[in-house]
Chain A
Amino acid sequence: MNVRATVAAAMMTTVSALVLPAQAGAESVLRIGMTAADIPRTLGQPDQGFEGNRFTGLTMYDALTMWDLSSADKPSVVIPGLATEWKVDDADKTKWTFKLRPGVTFHDGAPFNADAVVWNVEKVLKQDAPQFDPSQVGVTASRMPTLASARKIDDLTVELTTKEPDSFLPINLTNLFMASPTKWQKLYEAATGADDKAKSQAAWAAFAKDASGTGPWKMSKFTPRERLELVKNEAYWDKARVPKTDKMILLPMPEANARTAALLSGQVDWVEAPAPDALPEIKQRGFKLYANEQPHVWPWQFSRIEGSPWNDIRVRKAANLCIDREGLRDGLLAGLMVPASGTFEKGHPWRGNVTFEIKYDKAAAQKLMQEAGYGPNKKLEVKTQTSASGSGQMQPLPMNEYLQQALAECYFDVKLDVIEWNTLFTNWRRGAKDASANGANATNVTYAAMDPFFALVRFLQSSMAPPVSNNWGFINNPKFDELVKKARQTFDPAERDKALAELHAASVDDAAFLYVAHDVGPRAMSPKVKGVVQPKSWFIDFSPISVE
């Protein structure tokens, strides 16, 4: 060995000695740029829709039931979470018994038990409970509309009561996250305030800064509006889901180009919804792109009030057959959508035996329109309310203009009434009869289709017409009402799913909506991020993800 080689070997040894131990012990960090403008609320019930649940709900907290996020191919279904099993009372279908998972502890070390479940139910439902917090009620109670109360039976058994028999309860409970009552009580006792309500508010504010749930991630550092640092919970009850990354940093980046630049410059490892026109560059630079069908629907919701042109099923079907969804996907949306042929696609347990096949068939659409009395010289004027932007709206204006052009070929004359997103959203509850509809006979508000109530019931049941819920168009179909009742009162999960499938198939066969697209939740990340499984869900499991 010559001198140069000896020196080189010595240097290598020294460098290895200095560097390798440090690398071996180096903390792995996953940095994520979210689309939210602020960190979603951290106190248990996140705001900012399902992005909130994704980042500050399912990470730090668990619910009694959870979504299976382990597969990219299969539909995401409800599985046991902090409850291991549940059943409805045979005699009284409003009473449910939930068996709780033993040996689970909150991040502060307190045990998870029936008292904790009752406490968490009462934080949003019992107005005279000290922990009742109005700010958490809206986002929680609306997602479990029939839950009325909770009662401890023993340490690991709890009874939940609903206002009416409701087989959807276990699905709805995925939205009720379990915060630590022990931790909150300590903060409440230390809080100052003019009265109990003020003390309670102060305790929740303190809890949000130093949260404690049972989830796979623990809060480590929180700077409001800027960053949330989570560290892995080594003591997580599901050993298979103990995070493979030591730390996760969540950064709000509401602007798509800023997120993309942060990813490309290496400032973050992962961004949600990168700028669509930057996708080719992102791929070209070796970054990875993930997308999958989400339980989300981009529709036109038809008015069915007297005089609406959409009351004719031939017209509804014609519109559904006149859209080249594949063209929309491959052209305007650069592949970032899944063509919709209903609220649920093939393979989903709630899809059902649909007989009206929604596809692009212009000739059939034109024929239907001619049968309905329209043609090239007698166009049907329809008006749709939409927004220029908005959560889940994808690219509403170009997409609606695409529809406008496509439908023109089937003798529709589409007028668009573009209003501000929050106004459109508020009008949704006012319905087609309200002046706010401005004469529109369809509205273009996208919806999440995670659970049966949100996906089907609120639109199809006649009693859900405004101002009660989102049956904007006043659909009044006795068959739908009957099927909703049947689904809600069928308590065997497999039979309930069949009933829901029947309801969904009936709604598609009736062309209840103009079904256009499902969003695909695009996210881009550095090639050093491994183990990503993007399920068919709004959510994702961060536990199996590692950063090399």
Chain B
Amino acid sequence: MLSYAARRMVYAIPIIIGVALVCFMLVHITPGDPLVAVLPADASQELAQQLRTAYGFDKPLPVQFGLWLWRAVNGDLGSSIATGRPVLAEVLRAVSNTVTLAIAAAIIGFSLGLFFGLVAGYFRDTWIDKIATSIAIAGVSVPHYWLGMVLVIIFSVELNWLPAVGAGPSGSGAWAWDWAHIRFLILPAITTSVIPMGIITRTVRALTGDILSQDFVEALRAKGLRETQVFRHVLKNAAPTALAVMGLQLGYMLGGSILIETVFSWPGSGLLLNSAIFQRDLPLLQGTILVLAMFFVILNLVVDIAQAAIDPRIKRG
């Protein structure tokens, strides 16, 4: 097990370098001037050249990549062109807000998804299944930014129960898990949770149905096990795949949603990316994409290891 985990970690290194290269190239091949945030279109050529040199954009791309990667390895993602603030601090602050949102959304989405999926799978082809499946389809089909706006109109504008935007009465810097802050989290968390809820419902329903139709379940029942005991076996067999799907969904949520965070002005990584894209803030964009990509790499690693730990039948070569 330990050697498997170590091997997976070593495999992650080239993936990380590849991710870094791709994210560097992607932001550099997009059209537009990287200095647009600090250099108006009417600036003189001398000024443009002066700033290009000051920010190091006059160097060849491979040199820029090498310098950036070296600094990134040393924990320095550079400074934002637009604000001058260190990228790492900006990204970490945004990511921590997204993590808060992702955790809340995961609690809602995963519990409801598991519940609906198990119920639908267990009562397959009954009206219970149809209701649960309908909810799942609605979850994956409804555009979440639209749902967010509708929730805001109902619960903020019309009923005035919950705040429409923001991450706390004084911003996310003073975040606390009390009602004054949690009320800011409810609407974005519900909005974020609907897609994972739908996906998990559908996955777990399919898994439960398949497992229930397998011979070993018949054998368990023939042995006289109670239905709750049978169900526990079903759960255990469904867990690795469900876990993999949940891990992936958590990864997506930790990546932040540009649309949801923009709709709710939630100061997470999605809003940060949005801002970096529109301001052509390359160091911020590169840094944010890199950190988010790292999340996926690490999360996949953790899920792979967890799967192997839960299900000894999984043999990794």
- A interface residues with partner B (beta carbon < 8 Å): 33, 37-38, 41, 43, 47, 127, 134-135, 137-139, 141-143, 145, 201, 204-205, 208, 223-227, 251-255, 257-259, 261-262, 264-267, 420, 422-423, 425-426, 428-429, 445, 454, 458, 467-470
Contacts and interface: CB of A to CB of B under 8 A. Distances in A.
Which 9 A-B residue pairs are closest in the complex by CB-CB distance?
A: A422-B32, A142-B43, A138-B39, A37-B275, A134-B54, A226-B171, A261-B164, A265-B156, A138-B38
A208 B82 CA distance: 13
A37 B37 CA distance: 13
B4 to A, nearest CB: 41
B262 A261 contact: no
A226 B152 contact: no
B157 interface: yes
A501 to B, nearest CB: 22
From B41, B44, B149, residue with most partner A Cβ within 10 Å: B41
Given A253-B265, A468-B44, A470-B42, A267 B84 contact: no
Contacts of B42: 142, 429, 454, 458, 469-470
B2 to A, nearest CB: 41
Interface in B66-83: 79, 81-83
Contacts of A139: 38-40
A264 B262 contact: no
Given A38-B83, A134-B38, A423-B32, 4 more contacts: A134-B54, A201-B79, A204-B84, A254-B274
Contact of A227 (B33, B40, B164, B171): B171
From B79, B84, B90, B263, residue with most partner A Cβ within 10 Å: B84
B130 interface: no
A293 B58 CA distance: 41
Contacts of B265: 251-255, 258, 262
Given A258-B164, A469-B42, A41 B170 contact: no
13 contacts: A41-B84, A47-B37, A135-B38, A137-B47, A139-B40, A142-B44, A225-B94, A226-B172, A425-B36, A429-B42, A467-B45, A469-B44, A470-B41
Contacts of B242: none
Contacts of B224: none
Contacts of A265: 152, 156-157, 160, 163-164
Q: B interface, by DSSP: helix, strand, loop or mixed? A: loop
A262 B164 contact: yes
A470 B90 CA distance: 34
A257 B81 contact: no
From A134, A137, A201, residue with most partner B Cβ within 10 Å: A134
B166 interface: yes
B49 to A, nearest CB: 11
B31 interface: yes
Given A38-B83, A423-B31, A264 B157 contact: yes
Interface residues on B, range: 35 or more
B167 interface: yes
A425 B280 CA distance: 12
B110 interface: no
A246 to B, nearest CB: 16
Contacts of A38: 82-83, 275, 279
B165 A267 contact: yes
A223 B36 CA distance: 24
B54 A422 contact: no
A38 B83 CA distance: 9
A205 B84 contact: yes
A422 B36 contact: yes
Contacts of A429: 41-42
Contacts of B278: 37
A105 B156 CA distance: 44
B50 A261 contact: no
B51 A138 contact: yes
Contacts of B33: 422, 426
B262 A205 contact: no
Contact of A225 (B39, B41, B79, B267): B267
A47 B38 contact: yes
A138 B164 contact: no
A224 B90 CA distance: 8
Contacts of A225: 90, 93-94, 267, 271-272, 275
B84 A420 contact: no
Nearest to A143: B40
Interface string B18-62: 000000000000011101111111111101001100110000000
B85 interface: yes
B14 interface: no
Nearest to A464: B42
Nearest to B274: A37
A258 B41 contact: no
From A262, A425, A428, residue with most partner B Cβ within 10 Å: A262
B153 interface: yes
A145 B44 contact: yes
Contacts of B170: 223, 227
Contacts of A224: 83, 85, 90, 93
B173 interface: yes
B116 interface: no
Nearest to B81: A135
Interface in B243-284: 262-265, 267, 271-272, 274-275, 278-280
